[in-house]
Structure 1
Amino acid sequence: MDIGFKELASGIDTVWVLLCAALVLFMEAGFAFLEAGFIRAKNSLNIVMKVFTDCTFGMLGFWAIGFGLMYGANVFGLFGGSGFFLTGNLQHIDLSIPIPAFWIFQAAFAMVVASIISGAVAERMKFSTYIIFTFLCTSFMYPIAGHWIWGDGGWLSKLGMIDFAGSAAVHAVGGWASLAAVMVLGPRTGKYNADGSVNVLPAHNMHLAFLGTFILWFGWFGFNPGSSLSGLNASIAHIALTTNLAAAAGGATGILFTMRRYGKADPSMAINGALAGLAAITAGTAAVGPVSAAIIGTVAGILVVLAVEFFDRIKADDPVGAIAVHGVGGSWGVLAVGLFARDGGLLFGGGVQQLMVQALGVISVSIWAFGITYLAFSLLKATMGIRVTRQEEIEGLDLNEHGITAYSDLVTGTLKGVGHSTVHHQDGVGLPVTNTITVR
């Protein structure tokens, strides 16, 4: 069988995109471990179930509705109107790879948006209501914003917005949707005192959280270089380089900044610094140089620490720091393109035009994500209810939502591992803790 250059190139690109799609989908394992490690043991199985829901109900929603709204034939620059269930007219998607390969890659991105939100609502949201929201997120909320930026004829795309792999479309959308969700949902029981002071609800397993971070970092080599959609594109090496440098700079800054600010290196901020660097570089990874990538990551590592503190002050309870990492980090990354892009960036002689387009773009999709999520959560709250009872929250969502505890062989207590004790932290605050652990 004779194979021409065009067919060979298409085959290489298809394999490349499918491989990168697998890496991005593997990031769901990273979200599962990261979020499970950051929260308490009694809720750790529930959060993994929520991430699994993103990969099941969420993926089906993107197949049925979301992909068509995002990449279907353009309607007024606002949404797509074809391609639902991967049927109908998709001839306008002019790619060197088959549509199914492109769909799998894009579906993995949709899962990431939903999983950003899952961490923010951890430890108190009803599982049944979360299923509905995940479906809405991947079939409606994310695809509309994605069409504006990446869709054929999307209004932000026409303006020239640069968001190579999704600092705005994925991370800012997921982060600011998370803020709306936690505002409607309310904080976890015991998180804030009447005087506004903050109680520490400790992570139950930081080793899991670090494992999740390494998996996410690894998966980002599919997330960013894969967005080239071609294994023959020589820029994928540059994209991998800038991605890695921003992550390293963000993590290093998280360590150094907390050493300076708190006197000790905070492991959670080291993690979130690296993730914020990754969220920030995702928009401009192909457009900025290595030094700029390191600067973008460094700024993200500082911003995430300050943002976590700020959202705690306004009682926006986010157990994993999703709003700070993705909302703040992603937004900074979009703006950074207007500053550091080698072609058109303000600091490289390009003037303010690109920066203004970037600002308009990230503000627009953030307002959309925040507004539609706030509306959806408010409607769900008024109908089905979005929050478990206080008693269920105290006992733990693993047992009450799924009938099993994550560490059933290691816990003791009156209700299948649910007991009560008091833990005193360094700040002297005594907190009620469930799932008392017995080491054998």
Structure 2
Amino acid sequence: METFTINNVWMMICTALVFFMHLGFAFLEIGLTRQKNTINILFKNMFIITVGLLLYCLVGFNLMYPGFESGDWGILSFAGFGLDAPMAEGALDLSYNEGYTYWTDFLFQGMFAATAATIVSGAVAERMKIGPFMVFAIIYVGLVYPIAGSWDWGGGFLETRDTPFYDFAGSTLVHSVGGWAALVAVCLLGSRIGKFKDGKLQAIPGHNIPIATAGVIILWLGWFGFNGGSVLSANPELTSLTLVTTCLAAAAGGVIAALVSFIRYKNLDLTMFLNGILGGLVGITAGADQMSPTDAIIIGAIAGAIIVFAVSLIDRLKLDDPVGAIAVHLVCGIWGTLAVGLFGGLAGVDQFISQLIGVGSIAVFCSVSAFIILFTLKKTVGIRVSEREELEGLDAHEHGMDAYPDFRLNEH
């Protein structure tokens, strides 16, 4: 019972850390965008957290982990609506799990669910209507994310392969799930007014880089829970190793992104440094418990370099991603997932092929799902705000509020 209690407390602490990450996402997004859209971004983030938890309670948890209720671990098994705890009359019934209670499991997994839509929020910032975004978030968090997650974490076909797909904490099942939707959304929305003039890229600076920096530090802290909690116990060996690999990958990602950016552009770009840290974190997430410190540094360093080139490629394709979400969460999510087959305890040809199959399966499912949802919204109610609303700011037109009523900056 003592070990059970320690494990459960550790999982609850990690749950709180993952919840805290939503503040980091909010700070990062508002910091890297313009002042006139601050309220809009904060509203979307609060909506995702609250509605995401409710949806995960009503349908998501049982859809993602169908075997808990039905005993059937098939691809699309559905176990019913709402939480029906197997130990409702005894909250410490060890027959559910040796490490933590049913309630702790639900809450920890629920914190992950909202992250997928939060990734999309940053990519579509400053030009997407709030109503259609809310509809998209409800469908994506309520149905698409749990189904994708069930394919591996819920005992679906990716987990039951001869060489199981491995995604420790969600480089693909969380970050790429959000990243694919972000890519589809950016393609359907188009770029912000003024981002590309006469075919040339124009920088649109964020209004509060200190807040964005604080957001990245909060996210780094929250990742201790994101990856550390994915051990699913307080095992001292695995949790400490996981936190070490997580930290080293983040550090390497930041340093290499700053260095490569300096070599290419001859300036020390703080925003590239910040996204390099996040890229390292996303990259190590798939195999944080399988890597040595050296492996983690290599994976993080490659992720940091990838960030610089991915951001450049996205710009050349004339895709407008204000916060770098596609480069960080999609591209580095793919890299981190494939890295499991190249480094660490699971490295091998069979594992690499299994990782490729997992990445491809999630790519097709999430891209098609996101396209159907967003294209339908675009053709029915529209997803882009008017030119006037975009130029004057979404805060005034969609919320009737000003984030800084006594402090205004000159803006584009």
* TM-score class, shorter: over 0.9
Distance across 2 between alignment mates of 1:233 and 1:382 = 53
How far apart, in 2, do the equivalents of 1:89 and 1:169 lie?
26
Q: 1:48 aligns with which of 42, 46, 52?
A: 42
Amino acid across the alignment from 2:366: A
Shift of 1:84: 2.6
After TM superposition, list the pairs within 5 Å mapping 1:113-152 onto structure 2: 113-151=116-154
* Structure 1 residue matching 2:335: 3-state secondary structure: helix
Aligned partners of 2:229 and 2:54: how far apart in 1?
Answer: 22
Q: TM-score, normalised by structure 1?
A: 0.88
Secondary structure of the corresponding residue to residue 169 of structure 2? coil
Q: Is the 8 A contact 1:59 1:138 kept in 2?
A: no
Tell me by how many angstroms 1:189 deviates.
1.3
Matched position secondary structure for 2:152: helix
State the partner residue of 2:219. 216
Q: Give the whole-Å Cα distance in 2 for the aligned partners of 1:17 and 1:83.
A: 25
- Which residue among 32, 35, 55 is the counterpart of 1:38? 32
Q: Which residue of 2 aligns with 1:335?
A: 338
Asked if 2 retains the 8 angstrom alpha-carbon contact of 1:12 and 1:232, the reply is no
Counterpart amino acid of 1:238? L
- Determine whether 1:275 maps to 2:278: yes
Who is 2:364 aligned against?
Answer: 367
1:61: which partner in 2?
A: 55
Looking at structure 1, the residues matched to 215 and 85 of structure 2 have their Cα atoms a distance apart, in angstroms, of 39
Report the CA distance between 1:96 and its aligned residue: 2.9
Q: 2:90 — aligned with what?
A: none
In the alignment, residue 193 of structure 1 is paired with which amino acid?
K
In the TM superposition, residue 95 of structure 1 has moved relative to its aligned partner by 4.8
Residue identity matched to 2:244: L
Amino acid at match of 1:216: L
1:408 match: 405
* Alignment RMSD (CA, Å): 1.7
SS of the equivalent of 1:149 reads coil
d(CA) in 2 for partners of 1:197 and 1:139? Answer: 39
- Could you tell me whether the CA contact under 8 Å between 2:4 and 2:98 is conserved in 1? no
- In structure 2, which of residues 61, 64, 72 is the aligned counterpart of residue 70 of structure 1? 64
How far has the Cα of 1:388 moved from its partner?
Answer: 1.1
Partner Cα distance (1:55, 1:353) in 2 = 38
Answer whether contact 1:191 1:198 (CA < 8 A) is retained.
yes
Q: Matched residue of 1:61: which SS?
A: helix
Structure 2 counterpart of 1:392: 389
Note the residue ranges of structure 2 that are not aligned, 5 or more in a row: 88-92
Tell me, yes or no, if structure 1 residue 101 matches structure 2 residue 104.
yes
Bigger-Rg structure (1/2): 1
Q: Determine which of 167, 173, 195 is the counterpart of 1:169.
A: 173
> How is 1:253-402 mapped onto 2 (pairs within 5 angstroms)?
253-342=256-345, 344-346=346-348, 352-402=349-399
Identity among equivalent pairs (%): 45
Q: 2:280 touches 2:304 (CA, 8 Å); kept in 1?
A: yes
Residue 189 (structure 1) aligned to one of 178, 186, 193 = 193
Equivalent in the alignment of 2:160:
158
Question: Secondary structure in 1 aligned to 2:99?
Answer: coil
Gap runs ≥5 in structure 1:
1-6, 347-351, 413-420, 422-432, 435-440
Deviation digits for residues 398-417 of structure 1, max 9, x if unmatched? 111110111110128xxxxx
Please give the per-residue CA displacement for 1:169-211, whole angstroms capped at 9, x wherever unaligned: 01111111100111111111111124x2111111111101100
Tell whether 2:82 aligns with 1:85.
Answer: yes
Residue number in structure 2 paired with 1:437: none
Structure 1 residues 88 and 223, CA, compared in 2 at 3 Å: closer, same or farther? closer
SS in 1 for 2:235: coil
Conserved in 1, the CA contact under 8 Å of 2:40 and 2:395? yes
- Opposite residue 158 of structure 2, the aligned amino acid is L
Partner deviation per Cα, 1:217-247 (whole Å, 9 max, x = no partner): 0000000010111113521000000000000
CA-CA distance at 1:76 after TM superposition: 7.0
Contact 2:286 2:337 in 1 (8 A): yes
Q: Following superposition, which runs of at least 4 residues in structure 1 exceed 2 angstroms of deviation? A: 73-77, 87-96
> RCO (CA 8 Å, sep 6+): is it higher in 1 or 2?
2
Alpha-carbon deviations, 1:390-434, whole Å to 9, x = none?
10010001111110111110128xxxxxxxx7xxxxxxxxxxx35
CA–CA separation in structure 2 for the residues paired with 1:185 and 1:218: 33
Deviations along 1:36-80, one digit per CA (max 9) or x if unpaired, are 000011011211111111111122112111111101137673234
